[in-house]
Amino acid sequence: MLISSIVILLQFFYTLGALGLAVYGLQALILTLLRLRSERLTQKGQTRTELDSMGKPNGAEDDFWPAVTVQLPLYNEVHVVNRLIDACAELDYPRDRLQIQVLDDSTDGTTGLAQLRAALWRSRGIVVDVQHRSDRQGFKAGALKEGLRTATGDYIAVFDADFAPARGFLRQTVPTFLGKEGDSVGFAQTRWTHLNAGYSALTRAQALALDGHFVIEQAARYAAGLAFGFNGSAGVWRRACIQDPNVGGWQDDTLCEDLDLSYRAQLAGWRGVYLDGVEAPAELPPQLLAFKRQQFRWAKGSVATLRKLSGRVWNGGWPTLKRLAAFVHLGGYLIHPLLLLLLLVSPLLMLLGSQPYWPLAYLSLVSAGPPALYALAQRRLWGRAWFRRWAYLPLLMLLGMGLSLSNSVAAWQALFGRGGAFLRTPKFHVQREADEWHRSGYALELEPLVAAEIFLALYAGLGCFISVVHGQWLSLPFLLSFACGYASTAAIGIREACLARSARTRRHSQSTRLFRAKNLVKS
């Protein structure tokens, strides 16, 4: 009786996890179909881009362009601060209508570099102000909120430290807010591209994931009139939207202040615009541990936003389908706890003689959603050469499996905790294959969570053995993916940490020898 009750309970958890994953697989399939539909309508001339119908073309006289403030939130970015300031200072925009704010919370040499670079560009007639805070209150949201007090622009462009916007960025985006149809536009998000996608297999997998998000997910949500999020960088805000009392401005009670603000803006009646044709190059994290930290912050922030805004979304007056789509969107990182749940339950069910794979037989169609989404994104970007980039999908899937524990911890903290430190993703100015990140002092150390990842790799391996012994072959690929994913994540993390520690030790030894040599000369 007890065994039967345990089996029923485990089957319930397994079915819950399988159905939850099916929801996200179905979402990917629907967004892919919506993207295809929007492309067909565009080809038939039944839709138009925002830039075709708003404002004036890029060649308009300077008197037409409104005042813009470009905000650059920084925290310890010695490798990329000059690249960022240079790219923004070279934006093709009337100088008397452009202000650049370097919002610096740094505690290392970044502040000095920023001040020197700002002085250089001021000598050339570009307004570049460095605002340094002695504390990080509110983290990025706090810095943006503080900068808004002295901003002179009616429109606010935001770039994170890893971006290098093209010269025409503002002339391509600002017209979105102008004209009669632009009056209700609160923010515009552009498509991220990649400065170093070809650096390694890791960056190629990241590029595949981001391309799927921007080319398909963001474009499909926007075309279908669904709510979508501001991605925190490479976008422009109408200042009046941020300061609208019904919106509430930048808030720091989640780690995704960008997603939070964009949803509050849309709930208050402002429109978001996604500009798929405007590219914004950025650097991808070359260190797995840095990518892992980035995903942890995004997972925790998005789930915290779901927790914060779920009531407002449900009662916000949106159509039912739009509300449901918003819940699935905000809860996107909940896929990782669902994956972890399936892993923990599957071997136990097999040991008890049950068949944990039966629900998946009815969900095979929706499981094709994510691969189709990424394939269409690469086809859209690269034409006939799409397959070479889509071929990194297995690696991306393994990364998803391997990061499921870390992201599950993030989701748990967001659901049952509050706030948390804004842990930055280090940038290394790595663009060429010859560039090395592990020599930087920003290289991350290994985290204790790796021990749990090793345990889960062994647990999944045990599950593979059990599936073979019990002849439950349909469970084998799933468990094998987990075993490889966790083992790879742990192994790569350990290797990277060793490389960084070795480089740090050599730097310390060289500094010590230099110090001793100087003292010897003095004596």
Alpha-carbon distance of 398 to 301, in angstroms, equals 23
Active-site position among 105, 160, 211, 260: 105
Active-site position among 104, 160, 258, 260: 258
Q: Contact at 8 Å (CB) between 435 and 199? A: yes
Alpha-carbon distance of 253 to 309, in angstroms, equals 12
Q: Contact at 8 Å (CB) between 157 and 238? A: no
Alpha-carbon distance of 78 to 75, in angstroms, equals 9
> Has 160 been annotated as catalytic?
no
The sign of the torsion formed by the CA atoms of 251, 254, 257, 261 equals negative
Q: Contact at 8 Å (CB) between 80 and 427? A: yes
Residues comprising the chain, all counted: 523
Alpha-carbon distance of 39 to 82, in angstroms, equals 39
Residue 401 has a CB neighbour count (10 Å cut-off) of 26
Q: The tokens of 375 are what? A: 């394939």
Alpha-carbon distance of 272 to 321, in angstroms, equals 18
Q: Contact at 8 Å (CB) between 159 and 74? A: no
| Buried b / exposed e along 318-356 (16+ C-beta atoms within 10 A) | beeebbbbbebbbbbbbbbbbbbbbbbbbbbbbeeebeb
**236 SS3 class:** strand
> Has 252 been annotated as catalytic?
no
The string of DSSP letters for 169-217 reads HHHHHGGGG-SGGGTTEEEEEEEEEESSTTS-HHHHHHHHHHHIIIIII
Q: List the catalytic residues.
A: 105, 258
